[in-house]
Amino acid sequence: MRMLFIGFGVGVAVGAGGCYLYLSAVKQPELRRGGRAITLDENHHALKFGAPETEIVRQYEGYIAAYDYRTRNPKWVLEHITRDSSSGDAKRDGSEFFPDPGVEPRFSAKLSDFRGSGYDRGHMAPAADFKSSQKAMDETFSLVNISPQVGAGFNRDYWARFERFVKELTYASSDVYVMTGPLWLPTRSQLEDEDGGGGGGGGKGKGGKWTLVHDWIGKPPGLVAVPTHYYKVVVADPRGGGEPGKAPARDAVSPLAKGAVAVGAFVMPNQPMDARSPLSAYVVPLEDLEQVAGTRFFPDLLGEPRRRAALDTAAAGWRQEGLAQLKPFERLSMKQALAALPAPGSGAADVETSTVSTAKGASSSSSSPSRPAPPPAPKTPEGAGVVHICDVNACQLPRVDWYLPNGSGAGNGGSGGKRRAAA
């Protein structure tokens, strides 16, 4: 059993580490305020036979999605949820998956592509976010909102808890905006190039070549690409009259209670994940995520450089704190963990020291149940007008058995909670 957990932990570490290794190696350009999408001049001489069409944007009652013709996946799905929209009597029992009639069939995924593929039909905008309207819930089953996800250990477990985490933000913030989508991230054949930096070498060091490997499902030529990772960018805006101070922002001095907008970006590998892994280990900087996703997120809120810099500073701090917890959680040697999960802005020696200290602190506090450890300190620099989501609630996921009426008492230490059967 111990070897099983070690192998499981190594897989999760490699998946998450591959994500960070790639993100951290991308060269950062100077941030510039970009313009909106270009409107083509229909009289341009090159457009005699029309402009090429590579994706389509579809609007439903509860969400908007950009659908990529090449991968047959949503490129991004944008939703706005509130306490009211995520509460109600709508049920998914009678909902059925369907191809969007606005997408030309030869560019669309098909229901048959998923049958026997080994992957779930994973929602980007969860059905449970729209319980106030049966129509809105039913529309989340459109294939423009669906992407192939690993089922056990991910879609039905860790990712489901993450979705619940986001939904619970509506109890502390009047409005929550969520952008979700797939990623295809390459891995490097060797961790370091010849300059020893692990980044910036352009793949020209010894063995430093980037390679993308991922599955496809369906039948050619209309294959559906299976993402290697998924992302969410979450904005909790309490300024619209919500009820601050309630879960998950349990403290009256919470930034949300004071009216600050909270933002967080997360990337997770499309593979089984240990339920004990801290959510903060999957925090990523906005700047890096936008480059690999090829998308600017919430530009009217996050276009100001000082805001982005403050959020990315906090992201680096929260991620390092999350990575430090992976040693006791996954029972890996530090050498294994650091090989796949280099912490942002630190060398291996610095991270190992930090990790040992954190692990000892956790052990000490757990032996004194009458004196619980204080919540981690906020990490967003002051004065930017925004805070990181983890500053609000330390990015604590719901317990693994959150979907049960009274909970099973398993707490967060189990191997995973089975929320639903395979889609």
Please give the full DSSP string across 50-117, using - where no structure is assigned: -----EEEEE-SSEEEEEETTTTEEEEEEEEE-TTTT-SS--STT---B--TTS-GGGS--HHHHTTS
Q: Which residues are catalytic?
A: 123
Token digits for 328? 């006791």
Closest CA to 177 of 187, 169, 185: 169
CA 235 – CA 294 distance, rounded (Å): 19
Closest CA to 65 of 51, 80, 76: 76
CA 181 – CA 64 distance, rounded (Å): 12
Beta strands in 350-412 (DSSP E): 386-388
If you compute the radius of gyration of the chain from its CA atoms, what whole number of angstroms results? 22
Longest dimension (CA), the chain: 76
Q: Which residue has the tokens 């089922």?
A: 151
CA 301 – CA 303 distance, rounded (Å): 6
| Cα dihedral: 412, 414, 417, 422 (round 10) | 140
Q: Hey, is 125 helix, strand or coil? A: coil
Q: Hey, is 176 helix, strand or coil? A: strand
Q: 155: annotated binding-site residue?
A: yes
Label residue 55 exposed, middle or buried (CB < 10 Å: 0-12, 13-18, 19+).
Answer: middle
Binding residues: 155
- Binding site for Mg(2+), by residue number, is 155
